Amino acid sequence: MVRILSIHILDAHELAAKVLQEEISAKDVVSFFLERISKINPALNAFVYTNEASALSQASQVDVRKRQGEKMPLAGVPIAVKDVISVKDYQITCGSKILRGYIAPYDATVVERLKKAGAIIIGITNTDEFAMGSSTENSAYGPTHNPWSCTRVPGGSSGGSAVAVASGLSPVALGTDTGGSVRLPAAFTGVFGLKPTYGAVSRYGLIAYSNSLEQIGVFARSVKDLALVYSVISGADTRDGTTQNFGWDLFSCMGNSIENWKIGIVKETLAEGVDVSVQDALRDCSSYLERLGASVEEVSIKHIPFSLAAYYLIAMSEASSNLARFDGVRYGEHTSFEEEWNVEFSKVRSLFGLEVKRRILLGAYSLSAGYYEMFYEKAARFRSLISEEFKEAFKQFDVLLTPTSPTPPFRLGEKLQDPLMMYLSDIHTVPVNLAGLPALNLPVKIVQHDGELLPVGVQAIAPYGRDDKLFTLASALEKSAFIKKRIVEPWGRIVWTN
């Protein structure tokens, strides 16, 4: 029998194996994690909603299915889900006052697939409101805290999911990545964070922020767990016309060598403003890859510095359109229409937070008559340009590397009053979303920064549709022990490492 006190240090694949071998029941697993969340979450604010009755009911069903001999690759594995993905009978609010009390009536495709594989939705995690932010401070539920330091942000907007995995509140978690919102919090909390190729994972059931940029992604502490969850949720879905099957065998590719690979360091991402500790982490990772048989060279993608401006024009424009539905009539807190319609609409939309209002206004402006060609259309043309530059680079290189974030985790409140500085946190991640490419945060190093131990990540980028290359690279680094798994509890106390 597994010691119930230590099951949070198990990887998801190990936990599923023990449930299937009847060393522990799915119900006991869920009970353990719900209790752990109740003890640790008040200090972290990673979860904003748990449904004990639903989670235990799911677990009981998994135990029955197990006895019936059903194959379930994620049997009994708890999974945390970001508060923008629909989970039936769970409160889903996008971290916003405007959706308070909304109970989702259906499961997103990714949730359906996870449940079919035997996974159990353990709870809903905190997010920047409508996934708009880089720090998980723009939430109606208050900020999420980084377990490495109570004074620092976990990154955003999927900070709640990242913290849940990093602190052992859930073995794996789902987030969303519109411009880096899986990779940045993964870097800030020291876990793997995957942004898939655009179209590899269904967005049905994802409350839209920017349809052409966002993808549902995965957080995990090991490459095998990442592959396990990604294999379950990816693939074509008739309810999302952008999806397709890519046909990878992620588990077999994880055993491949990277000998003779050519790896490119994007030199424009090492410009002024990148912290010395981040540069050192990238340098150490490059050197280690050369020891594993790869060759590493610099590569130029000269228009990358303009990506941030193009990204925010496109993202804000799409956001202003998508959020128009939250008006108190279709969605949002219902209005009585006791006054004129514009007054009532204004009352409802005043419930949006400051950052959401800012993005709606800027998006509406860039789409308005006389400015559409000047701003949005130019950004759309730039998107094609940066995509072509990446294609050219991948004719020479198997994978590209950049810093995930220009700095280690910054302090709570440090950038809230300066939106432009906050947006610069995404400067290395947004080009990937513009081009629809797959990318993965590699949790390569723990550094001493301002007197604290903090995680630093390196971003690996692969060609369109070649997510398997990311798994080969990450697996090579993990197997050679360059990347280590850790669980950290408030504040900065490492309770387990491999």
Q: Which active-site residues does the annotation give?
A: 82, 157, 181
Any bridge partners for residue 268, and if so which? none
User: What distance separates the 2 farthest-apart alpha carbons in the chain?
Assistant: 71
What is the residue type of 350?
A: S
Helices (H), 218-333: 223-233, 250-253, 276-291, 307-322
Phi, psi of 256, deg, nearest 5: -75, 155
Of residues 132, 96, 324, 315, the one with CA closest to residue 210 = 315
**Three-class secondary structure of residue 387 per DSSP:** helix
| Distance, CA of 477 to CA of 484 (rounded, Å) | 9
How many of the other CB atoms lie within 10 Å of CB of 256? Answer: 15
* Contact of 352 with 98, CB cutoff 8 Å: yes
Determine how β-strand 215-220 pairs with β-strand 295-299.
Answer: unpaired
DSSP 274-293: --HHHHHHHHHHHHHHHHTT
If residue 266 lies in a helix (H) or strand (E), which one and from where to where? strand 262-266
* Contact of 23 with 66, CB cutoff 8 Å: no
DSSP 125-168: E--SGGG--SSS-S-TT-PPPBTTBTTB---SSSHHHHHHHHTT
Q: How far is CA 476 from CA 289, 383, 473, in A?
A: 9, 32, 5
Dihedral, CA of residue 417, residue 419, residue 424 and residue 429, to nearest 10: 120
| Distance, CA of 417 to CA of 395 (rounded, Å) | 42
**Three-class secondary structure of residue 229 per DSSP:** helix
Phi, psi of 86, deg, nearest 5: -70, 125
Tokens of 471: 């798994």
If residue 454 lies in a helix (H) or strand (E), which one and from where to where? strand 452-461
